[in-house]
Amino acid sequence: MAGKFQAVDIGKTASAATIIFNALRKAIVEGDLSDGDPLRQDEIARMFNTSRIPVREALTMLEQQGLVKTVRYKGAVVAALSMQEASEIFDFRAFLEAEVIRQAVPVMSSGVLDQAQQFLEKFAAASEPMEYGDLNRGFHATLYRASGRPYHLSVIENSMDRIDRYLRAQLVLSGGMSRADREHQAILDACRKGDADKAAQLTADHILGAKASLEEHIHAKPQT
C-alpha cells in the first residue's frame, strides 16, 4: 500500500481525520487503491505520523460513503462494486442529475456557461486518464451548482465517488472520450438556449450511455 497515496506529517494537526479521509478518498476514487486492498490502521498512522484514532475516524467516514468496508479477520479494505450496484447508481444519477439540471438551466448565468465551456475544452484536450474524471465532474458540477440545491449536489458527489474509478477505466478502455465530448457539447448547447427539458434528457441519456458502455466492456472481458 505504501506509495499509493500522498502522505503528509499531520501529527499536530487538529483535523487529522479529515486530512486522512481526503487522502484515502482521492486514492480510492482515482484508482490508486484497488478493490479489496487492505487499509491497515497502523501503517496509515505511521505514514501520516499520527495515532490510530484519526485513522479509525477517517475509515468510518469512508465506510459511510461506501468506499470502504470492514471484512471479518481482515479489517478495513477498499470496497468492491458489483455491476448490479454500479447499474443502480447510474440509474439513480440519471434520474437525479436530469432533474437538477432542469432546475438549473433557467437561472444559469453567462459566467457559469463560460466556465462549463472551459471544462469542456480541457476535457476534450486531456491526454492523461487521471484528468478525465476530474474534468468530467467539473463540467457537470459547474452546471448543476446553478440549481441552488446543495443537498442534491452532495448526494450526486457521493454517487460519483462510488463509480468514478470504474467510469475512468471505461472512458479509457472503451474509447469513450470522443463520445463524451460530443454529449457534453450538446448538453451545454441546450443550456445556452435555455432549453431545460432538452438539457435534462441529454444529461440522462449521457449517464445511461456511460452505463451501457461500462456494461458492454465488463461483459466483453475474457473470463479467466
Q: Are residues 47 and 96 in the same domain?
A: no
84-90 contact pairs (CB < 8 A, 24+): 85/162, 86/162, 86/163, 86/166, 86/211, 86/214, 87/211, 87/215, 89/159, 89/162, 89/163, 90/163, 90/207, 90/208, 90/210, 90/211, 90/214
Asked whether the CA dihedral 190, 191, 194, 197 is positive or negative, the reply is: positive
From CA 22, how far away is CA 16, in angstroms rounded?
A: 10
Q: Among 78, 96, 112, where does a domain finish?
A: 78
Domain that holds residue 32: 16-78
pLDDT digits (tens, 9 = 90+) for 139-168: 999 999 999 999 999 999 989 888 877 777
Q: Are residues 63 and 89 in the same domain?
A: no
Q: Most confidently modeled of 63-67, 105-109, 180-184, 213-217?
A: 105-109
Q: Among 78, 95, 119, where does a domain finish?
A: 78
**Cell numbers standing for residue 191:** 443550456
Which CATH number covers residue 72? 1.10.10.10
Total number of residues shown for the chain:
224
Looking at the predicted structure, is the pLDDT value of residue 76 above 80? yes
According to the model, what pLDDT value does residue 195 have? Answer: 98
pTM for this prediction? 0.75
Tally of domains in the chain? 2
Give the model's confidence band at 203: pLDDT under 50 very low, under 70 low, under 90 confident, else very high: very high
Radius of gyration, CA atoms only, the chain: 19
**Cell numbers standing for residue 67:** 468506499
Q: Are residues 205 and 107 in the same domain?
A: yes
Higher local confidence (pLDDT), 14 or 19: 19
Looking at the predicted structure, is the pLDDT value of residue 131 above 70? yes
From CA 44, how far away is CA 52, in angstroms rounded?
A: 8
